[in-house]
Structure 1
């Protein structure tokens, strides 16, 4: 019996060992070590846009000065990698300084300040932000990061004067003007030189409004000139109100800044116009490429495509069109003799002698009227 028990025990132990062997896990197979996964590259940041700001003295919808500048801004906004913003109807003085400073604080790379009265605020803010490029329109002060610019719009004024001189019957032409500063005085003089080149008997009567943009006041000024016998009205103002006054009175008109014919289709002979797009695009490209320089003065001309005249109205005779376009071709070719002597002032004194041409410095500082202008520079 004991032997039988021992035998059974031995069989049980054997069976248990066999069971463990049959059900046991195979030794773990060592796998080759995997190479560590490469670290994911951090997403690249999109390049920052080149931010360009514009400050306007009047509404962009005025069809005038600020409207023309904003057409230039839109050309810049279409450039790849550029972001633009504008502030409109910004008064000259403390308000403009605040607007310009806010743009500089908000990371704008280049700021265009487009009115003469923004000059000192631009210079002041530029000192605080030496890494920002500032472009001031129509002024004369500069610094390491401020350049000024303008266009020879007097060339367009001269051409429109040729038209006015040919079209007047009363020999009285009215000029609604903003402020008696060199920019405006120079334009009046060039216009008058054109008028008297084709009509020596004609005179140009000037009324000052002392505002860039006030449609009601501009219209009243035009009406006063019409009441004085003027049969052609032109302007250095931002709204088409003088054009409308001329059409209502059955007179002719010459616009400024943009083609104003749609506001007075029966009166508008042509307009002296700005085309800021090419100049603005070129300037911004220079800023983006690191080629822009401060302390510069740019005075773009008809040859540069920045100033021009609008299409003629249907009432302008073909011979007048032809003669004006011939003079325009000379200006486009770089032949500018508008302020070539002899040129007399209102007193009949020769101020630009025969055989000489007024240098740019004299034109930029012009404070006197030529012979043929009725009015004062005050």
Structure 2
């Protein structure tokens, strides 16, 4: 089966999922990726085609002219002669939907969150109206809509998407790559335990809450907090981190370095919260940590609780309650060795058995078979 994976933009990191599932399933089907603008920092075994030229202008400037090259992308997908088109994000789905409509090739669209939340907001700008149009076209033309969590599926139905087409398909993570450390963690060597944050430095990711909670409990539960990532709050986080000797901002890191940081961590903290009406749809970083045998402390926000087993693989706290977050940090730091070992083992087991790339790809192959040959 020939599968065209389509997307508006493809930037790796962070959107590994658009490639990893195709790479994992390449022994079953022939995949090619089609997008308007791509920026890959790593090689892929799956061919990637993008259609906005002048790469020397950089990713952001090429994004500005994306609409003008939709016809080129349509032509590229048609030339591939796919048996199935798999669109990631309902936004920028018009090229995939056009090919599906004109060729009768079945389309499946994975909803990741930004698309659904864009549809929920009033379209007050030209770009917002464009996003609304794209998501509604994807809703009409898709044989299936795959939501990355039960939380997002409910939000999609509330936004008016077709519940008859909606199914939950959890994105898998590579549990053969994200594995526990071979060496003991620093905390087991008598050093201060290290907590880790990996994500965008933004209000929605809760970085301010984490710094406040970490600072409040550091004296009674000494630890080191390492912050991996970049974003709009970079300057603020850098300044705040400089005021605390236990906080280190290391900036954006590649996939291998993120794994290295995870393997050294006592816990990953995911303090995401509602921002401008949107919440975390899933939170794959929590699964990557779990696969490394690292428990997660997370806010009960959006789909995050579906990425863990609260109390078994990590601790779930009330969204936006900094005191609760601090107490959870204290608890994970002071957890007895045998209790921590059990939580670490449960985290790895959950990731492998419930949220691995193997499990996700097996389910996705089933979805492809379901829609092959269907008619709208």
Task: Name the larger-Rg structure.
Answer: 1
TM-score, normalising length: structure 2: 0.37
Q: In proportion to residue count, which structure has more helix?
A: 2
Provide TM-score, normalisation by structure 1: 0.36
